[in-house]
Structure 1
Amino acid sequence: MTPSAARGSWQARTVRQVSALTARRLIAAAPVNAHTLPLARIVLDRALRAAAPILRGTTAVPVREGRVRGEWVRGPRATRDDAVVLYVHGGGFVAGSAAGYRGVAARLSTATRLPVFTLDYRLAPEHPYPTAPQDLAAAFRWLMAHGHSPGRIIVAGDSAGGFLAADFVITGTRTGTPAPGGVVLFSPMADLTLAVATGYDGGRADGLLSAGLSRRAVTHFTPDPFELLPVRGKPLPPALIHASDTEFFGGDAVTLAERWAATGGVCELQVWRDQMHAFQLLPALVPETRFAYRSAARFVSAVLDSAAAAV
């Protein structure tokens, strides 16, 4: 584990504290059902666009090919074409979209200098488990069919998207699916029973999430919540996991990193202090996001360079 050396910025602490007094209370009291979700999805997308404005010079090309939906995003200075990032957005399995995440994808693309394909997987409750994992598997096969070798694909995601990304890789070790070159996870969920999250001390300081809200979202995704359990003795591809010491799913990130490393795979866990859950989505508010994207870029570069040297 690599802890953040310094306290979070005053901006990060302020955002988390203000959100805890406002957004967290409002969201915790709101029902998550077929009547509220359409509006909630619109609000989330607009909030993300405000918190992560699209960088000038970004290009976004929508994709609609069979079961694969999403968009290719290239940020400024994204000049490489030798690899790609497959990004799986968060939103508690019930919200989020490629369009809403365009500013996030642009920053990840700019930092890594790679094109990013943000997947629009089908959302619960209209499309419960296993639809989202099936959509992710289809997108990975689609990328391979378009000439991208598995080892040159980086799978990334945040929160619920981080769960889906990790689940895809872990499941692949059991089914023989080709593994991606590396994995980048921002504040991933790892235990849908929420046993890990509710037992994590830092979760009480989360500025947004609560057990009630998370449980309602998970229930829409699957009536049989499960946790990510990598197979010992079957090493997983290199992974970078970011989490905060003051977020609800911080314990999930720590647990997943430990289990990942126990397979024999390389896993770097970075714990950032005083941050919101998935703070990387808030570049307009939290200055540490630029360091987080640079960290991800260094990891991706190291993974791809190592793979190229081994050929």
Structure 2
Amino acid sequence: MTAPDRGSLRTRATRLVAEHTVKPLAAALPVNTATLPVARFVIEAAMRVVGPSLPGTSAHRVDDGAVRGEFVTGLKADRLDAVILYVHGGGFVAGSVAAYRGVASRLSTTTRTPVFVADYRLAPEHPSPCAQLDVARAYRWLLRRGFAPDRIVVAGDSAGGFLAADLALANARLRIPGPAGLVLFSPMADLGLRIAHTGDRNRDGVISYALSVKAVAHFTSDRLELRPERGMTLPPTLIQTGGAEYFAADAIELADRLRQVGGACELQVWPDQMHVFQVMPALAPEARFAFGAAGRFVTSLLESPAATAV
């Protein structure tokens, strides 16, 4: 699938307005225990507006010991033998299953597959490795529920994209059966921010170095990076990134690293798009086509001969 040559007029106008309003404000505000409760509330409310759930979506809350989250099922999502584990973004300090219900409903609808959104612990209350442990627990919990590894697709965006890919790399490193595939929207790949900060000029409407460094500092002081190694058994991966976003260089570098060690990775760069444009279909019409591409990728994995031969 080839992304369009240029973003829509609505997309470009939204980015330009945000770049001169939201971005400088977000960069200037402190990120701490006093401001985060308000920021989390505002982000959740905004995401419900720009990316509401599709009609006919159902959501079921899960609280099973250390595993918390929400099963989201879109209209006509009748596949019962597979599941998507979704790891939400939010810079490790924000984001919630409620905020991402719209994303999950679209992913579920386009793949006809239920989506389990992991409610992992957030920093600064719970710094690294709490989030990584929670995502790994969610994956093992799905295995215990009867989903085979090759019937689980792991997806995530931004910080959640980092955590989703980190899960796959950790499984490969420990020789634990990994998922059928990865779908990553605007993934972070270098928490030291070296890759993003040395990339092309940032035209993102929201994300900046100033904002990112403050959020990541609450999660970890280590310069964690996604570094696949030769000899790893890695799942097929789809990476989508915005051409105008802060973490575009991260996504491109991660795709290169996966390919260099023999992994299969499809990279889609969507021109003029901001960071994780998929979460705001009301403002970025291209989000619908991006979900369509992700849906075709997931369907190809779950309906391939290797996946159906049990």
TM-score relative to the length of structure 2:
0.98
Give the conservation status (yes or no) of the 8 Å contact 2:150–2:307. Answer: no
**What are the equivalent positions in structure 2 for 1:1-311 lying under 5 Å apart?**
4-202=3-201, 204-306=202-304, 307-311=306-310
Query: How far, CA to CA, are the matches of 1:56 and 1:308 in structure 2?
Result: 30
Match of 1:155, SS state, is strand
Local SS of the residue matching 2:302: helix
CA contact (8 A) 1:90 1:160 kept: yes
**Per-residue CA distance 1:122-164 (angstroms, 9 max, x = gap):** 0000000000000000000000000000110000000000000
Contact 2:67 2:138 in 1 (8 A): yes
Letter matched to residue 144 of structure 2: A
Identity across matched positions, percent? 57
Residue type matched to 1:245 in 2? G
Measure the CA separation in 2 of the matches of 1:206 and 1:59: 33
- CA distance in 2 between counterparts of 1:100 and 1:247 reads 21
Mapped partners of 2:39, 2:275: distance in 1: 18
CA shift, 1:82, in A, is 1.7
**What CA distance in whole angstroms lies between the structure 1 residues aligned with 2:2 and 2:260?**
20
Deviations along 1:222-279, one digit per CA (max 9) or x if unpaired, are 0112111101121310000001111000000000001111221210000000001000
Structure 2 letter corresponding to 1:195: R
- Alpha-carbon separation, structure 1, partners of 2:176 and 2:136: 9
Deviation at 1:304, TM superposition (A): 1.2
Contact 1:236 1:263 in 2 (8 A): no
Q: Deviations over 1:95-137 (max 9, x none)?
A: 0000111111001100011000001100000000000000000
Which whole-Å CA distance do the structure 2 matches of 1:252 and 1:207 have between them? 17
SS in 1 for 2:97: coil
1:197 touches 1:249 (CA, 8 Å); kept in 2? Answer: yes
Q: Which amino acid aligns with 1:198?
A: H
Q: Deviations over 1:28-55 (max 9, x none)?
A: 0000001000110000000110111121
**Quick one: distance in 2 between partners of 1:248 and 1:308?**
35
In 2, the alpha carbon distance for the partners of 1:301 and 1:55 equals 20
**In 2, distance between residues paired with 1:56 and 1:297?**
18
Q: Structure 2 unaligned segments of length 5 or more: list them.
A: none
Q: Is the 8 A contact 2:151 2:307 kept in 1?
A: no
User: For the residues of structure 2 that align with 1:206 and 1:100, how far apart are their CA atoms?
Assistant: 21
1:11-38 deviation line (CA, Å, top 9, x unaligned)? 1111111110111011000000010001
8 A Cα contact 1:129 1:221, kept in partner:
yes
Question: Residues 61 and 69 of structure 2 are in contact (CA less than 8 Å); yes or no, is this contact kept in structure 1?
Answer: yes
Please state how far the C-alpha of 1:77 moved relative to its aligned partner.
Answer: 1.7
The Cα shift of 1:3 comes to 5.5
For residue 184 of structure 1, report the CA deviation from its aligned partner: 0.1
Cα distance in 2 for partners of 1:183, 1:206 equals 24
- Structure 2 vs 1, CA of residues 109 and 17 (structure 1 numbering), >3 Å: closer, same or farther? same
Query: Counterparts of 1:233 and 1:80 in 2: how far apart (Å)?
Result: 33
Distance 1:92 1:18, change over 3 A: same
Q: Distance in 1 between matches of 2:248 and 2:233?
A: 23
Give the superposition deviation at 1:310.
4.8
TM-score, L = length of structure 1: 0.97
- The 8 Å contact of residues 159 and 188 in structure 2, kept in 1 or not, is answered as yes
CA displacement at 1:308 relative to structure 2: 2.8
Structure 2 letter corresponding to 1:69: R
Aligned residues: 309
Give ranges in structure 1 of 5+ residues lacking alignment.
none
